[in-house]
């Protein structure tokens, strides 16, 4: 897999990109505002200079215009009053516009058809007021707003485009990783390279890689299972075909023996197919509603079902201990688990032996909680300690010579126990005698009332 330079933190990349753009826009906006303020201050200063010049150049007497149309009112008007409350001669920037004397501070007045904003102040023994046309002030405000809006209007589309480009570039690793995962070959699943991924994605990718490892293992296991199942089915089917051909050619006085062999072959094939279906069902592990199953009742039913087989094999099948415990499980799975253990013990424990089943509650057992311990003990030859792990493999029979065995019983037991959160152990007998003890330890959990059909039906 080709590697690229590490991308670092996705959050940091976005922060730097968008922060840099925002800083740039802020600087440009500040520059624009500074220019606008400079321009506005310059205009106001210019108006004030004109007003001051007009006052200095005004004649000492402020006669009222006697003929002709008076000039337009200036944007800024300056007037002063002396102690006598009359307009001081020579101190009006527009002698033809006379505003009434206003109170100190800010106020407004209408004169000559115009609205003026006035600021009055005391200057020694004189009283001065400066007025500005409200229309002129509003025009200046609109001009300032227009100047201030120009940078925003111009830069906003640029900012949006730049952010889209930056985010797309920063999130490009997501698309690249998505393409890698989508193009993964189920025949050769390879982990996604996390060394080049952003920090925020690494936990997710590590989870994906763990899932790929499990999926790869499951696929390999299923391939092995299918291959082994095909091989195991081919042999009995071939044997059945030969037996049918022999039966067709056998003399009439030998037909009963041939039919018995055919019946046994069909039974072996049926047993193998049943075990395959049980294993497939157990391994699917589809979530199902759990019941509070009485374990002792299931053990009793299994003993009743297997009693004819035990009698046929000369095995003393019985129950040693049955504690009254209930377990969150499905009755089908629990029955399958116990029946496979007991069936194995009867078949491989040897003729004339003994098989004892027991159920007990182990308080404060492994893991700190209560457990249910199911044991099946036989008096057969047992299993060498070196082979006790291998017997859980599919189709493994070890040194067994019983042709009816499928080699799947303990694999089914282990799968069901794992689905219930438990484990399977194979040990020698506690009394030191010959035989084997198959022990299943399951956590003692009860199903919630809503999951119990009996409870739901009465609710």
- The pLDDT of residue 314 is 92
CA distance linking residue 220 with residue 229, whole number of Å: 14
**Lowest mean pLDDT across 41-45, 171-175, 255-259, 263-267:** 41-45
Q: With a cut of 80, say whether residue 142 has pLDDT above it.
A: no
What class is the 186-284 domain? mainly alpha
Does residue 444 contact residue 370 with C-beta atoms inside 8 Å?
A: yes
- Report the CATH architecture of 55-60+73-136: 2-Layer Sandwich (3.30)
- The pLDDT of residue 365 is 56
- The pLDDT of residue 12 is 67
For 155, other C-beta atoms within 10 Å of its C-beta total 17
Q: How far is CA 390 from CA 350, 410, 439, in A?
A: 21, 10, 16
In terms of DSSP bridges, do strands 126-133 and 76-81 run parallel, antiparallel, or are they unpaired? antiparallel
User: Domain ranges in the chain?
Assistant: 55-60+73-136, 186-284, 287-458
For 107, counting Cβ atoms within 10 Å of its Cβ (0-12 exposed, 13-18 middle, 19+ buried), the class is middle
Q: With a cut of 50, say whether residue 52 has pLDDT above it.
A: no
DSSP, collapsed to helix, strand or coil, labels residue 26 as: helix
For residue 329, the 8-state DSSP code is E
Q: pLDDT tens-digit profile of 212-267?
A: 888 877 777 777 667 666 755 666 677 677 777 777 776 766 677 777 777 777 77
% of residues, the chain, pLDDT over 90:
10
DSSP, collapsed to helix, strand or coil, labels residue 322 as: strand
Tokens 């299931």 sit at which residue?
A: 298
Q: With a cut of 60, say whether residue 48 has pLDDT above it.
A: no
Q: What is the average per-residue pLDDT within 126-144?
A: 77
- The pLDDT of residue 335 is 87
- The pLDDT of residue 99 is 73
Q: pLDDT tens-digit profile of 291-329?
A: 888 999 999 999 998 898 899 889 999 999 999 889 888
Q: What pTM does this model have?
A: 0.49
Q: With a cut of 90, say whether residue 444 has pLDDT above it.
A: no
Question: What confidence category does residue 403 fall into, taking pLDDT thresholds of 50, 70 and 90?
Answer: very low
- 57-62: Cβ within 8 A, 24+ apart: 58/90, 58/91, 58/92, 58/93, 58/95, 59/90, 59/95, 60/89, 60/90, 61/89, 61/90, 62/87, 62/89, 62/90, 62/92, 62/95
- The pLDDT of residue 358 is 94
CA distance linking residue 451 with residue 456, whole number of Å: 7
Q: What separation, in Å, do the N-terminal and C-terminal C-alpha atoms of the chain show?
A: 59
DSSP assignment of 174-222 equals: HHHHHHHHHT-BTTB------TTS-GGGHHHHHHHHHHHHHHHHHHHHH
Q: What is the average per-residue pLDDT within 146-164?
A: 76
Tokens of 150: 């120009």
CA distance linking residue 444 with residue 439, whole number of Å: 15
Tokens 């690793």 sit at which residue?
A: 173
Could you give the dihedral angle defined by the CA atoms of residues 40, 41, 44 and 49, in that order, rounded to the nearest 10 degrees? -140
Q: pLDDT tens-digit profile of 331-361?
A: 888 888 998 899 888 988 888 889 999 999 9
| Shared fold status for 55-60+73-136 and 186-284 | no
The dotted CATH code for 287-458 is: 3.30.565.10
Per the model's pLDDT, the better-predicted residue between 285 and 355 turns out to be: 355
């Amino acid at each position: 897999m080709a590697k690229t330079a590490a991308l670092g933190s996705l959050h940091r990349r976005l922060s730097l990109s968008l922060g840099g753009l925002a800083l740039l826009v802020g600087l440009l906006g500040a520059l624009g505002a500074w220019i606008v303020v400079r321009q506005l201050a310059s205009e106001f200063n210019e108006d004030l200079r004109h007003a001051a010049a007009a006052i200095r150049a005004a004649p000492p007497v402020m006669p009222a215009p006697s003929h002709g149309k008076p000039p337009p009112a200036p944007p800024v008007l300056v007037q002063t009053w002396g102690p006598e409350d009359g307009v001081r001669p020579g101190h009006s920037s527009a002698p033809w516009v006379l505003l009434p004397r206003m109170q100190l501070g800010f106020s407004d007045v209408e004169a000559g058809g115009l609205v003026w904003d006035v600021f009055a102040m005391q200057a020694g023994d004189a009283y001065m007021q400066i007025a500005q046309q409200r229309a002129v002030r509003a025009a200046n405000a609109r001009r300032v707003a227009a100047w201030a809006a120009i940078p925003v209007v111009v830069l906003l589309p640029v900012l949006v485009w730049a952010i889209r480009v930056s985010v797309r570039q920063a999130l490009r690793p997501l698309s690249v990783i998505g393409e890698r995962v989508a193009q993964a070959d189920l025949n050769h699943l390879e982990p996604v390279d996390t060394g080049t991924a952003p920090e925020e994605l690494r936990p997710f990718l590590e989870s994906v890689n763990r899932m790929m490892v499990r999926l790869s293992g499951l696929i390999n296991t299923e391939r092995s299972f299918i291959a082994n199942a095909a091989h195991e089915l081919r042999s009995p089917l071939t044997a059945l075909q030969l037996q049918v051909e022999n039966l067709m050619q056998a003399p009439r006085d030998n037909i009963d023996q041939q039919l018995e062999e055919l019946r046994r072959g069909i039974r072996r094939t049926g047993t193998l197919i049943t075990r395959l279906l049980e294993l497939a069902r157990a391994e699917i592990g589809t979530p199902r509603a759990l019941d509070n199953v009485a374990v002792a009742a299931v053990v009793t039913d299994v003993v009743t079902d297997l009693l004819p087989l035990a009698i046929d094999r000369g095995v003393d099948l019985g129950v040693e201990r049955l504690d009254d415990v209930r377990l969150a499980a499905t009755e089908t799975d629990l029955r399958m688990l116990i029946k496979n253990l007991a069936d194995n013990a009867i078949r491989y424990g040897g003729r004339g032996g003994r098989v004892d089943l027991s159920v007990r509650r182990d308080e404060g057992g492994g893991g700190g909680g209560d457990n249910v311990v199911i044991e099946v003990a036989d008096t057969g030859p047992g299993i060498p300690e070196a082979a006790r792990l291998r017997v859980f493999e599919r189709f493994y029979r070890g040194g067994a010579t019983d042709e009816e065995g499928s080699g799947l019983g303990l694999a089914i037991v282990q799968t069901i126990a794992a689905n219930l959160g438990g484990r399977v152990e194979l040990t020698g007998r506690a009394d030191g005698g010959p035989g084997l003890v198959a022990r299943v330890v399951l956590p003692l959990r009860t199903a919630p009332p809503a999951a119990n059909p009996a409870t739901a039906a009465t609710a």
